[in-house]
């Protein structure tokens, strides 16, 4: 009987580049400015990225474009969002005991990069020289404070980028 072995190392390969973006722009405005600077056409994707934590669940907005000729996929992903919980304090018997409170908790797609507002994930891009050029073009957008590439081996929560 033959023994078959699977090499799981093939599944660990990272075939994307990640650029962190710091800006105060709304997601749709940022996508608009990126579309003007780069030869892409990011559009709102109805499949948002859902993250479940102990406080509840939240969805991160996502803009997507796929270049058919080159096979390159572009994702503009929100990094910061909030989970709002309804709390009712019934432990006390006083005037304010039946008041419902809303408690919001900040949630990050990649918690190790809390200062980044958005990520531009580029899949199947051939050479690294293009990434530095893309980063330079993003830095020319007026309302972007900074944009920089992230080394994929420094990402601890890689599973959040699988969608």
Q: Which residues contact 86 (CB under 8 A, 6 or more apart)?
A: 100, 101, 102
- In the predicted model, residues of the chain with pLDDT beneath 50 are 10
HSE-up of residue 156 (Cα within 13 Å, Cβ side)? 6
User: What's the pTM?
Assistant: 0.79
Residues in the chain: 163
> 68: helix, coil or strand?
coil
Return the closest-CA partner of residue 119 out of 160, 155, 81, 78: 78
Q: What percent of the chain has pLDDT over 90?
A: 37
Chain mean position to CA 5 = 35
Instruction: Give the model's pLDDT for residue 21.
Output: 94
């Amino acid at each position: 009987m033959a023994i078959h072995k699977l090499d799981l190392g093939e599944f660990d390969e990272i075939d994307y580049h990640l650029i962190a973006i710091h800006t105060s722009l709304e997601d749709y405005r940022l996508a608009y400015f990126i579309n003007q600077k780069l030869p892409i056409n990011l559009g709102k994707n109805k499949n948002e990225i859902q993250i479940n934590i102990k406080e509840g669940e939240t969805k991160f907005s996502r803009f997507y474009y796929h270049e058919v000729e080159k096979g390159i996929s572009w994702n503009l992903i929100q990094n910061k969002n909030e989970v709002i919980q309804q709390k009712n304090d019934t432990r006390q018997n006083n005037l304010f005991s039946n008041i419902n409170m809303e408690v919001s908790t900040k949630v990050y797609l990649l918690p190790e990069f809390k200062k980044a507002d958005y990520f531009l994930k580029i899949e199947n891009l051939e050479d690294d020289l293009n990434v530095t050029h893309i980063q330079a073009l993003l830095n020319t957008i007026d309302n972007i404070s900074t944009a920089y590439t992230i080394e994929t081996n420094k990402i601890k929560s890689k599973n959040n980028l699988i969608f």
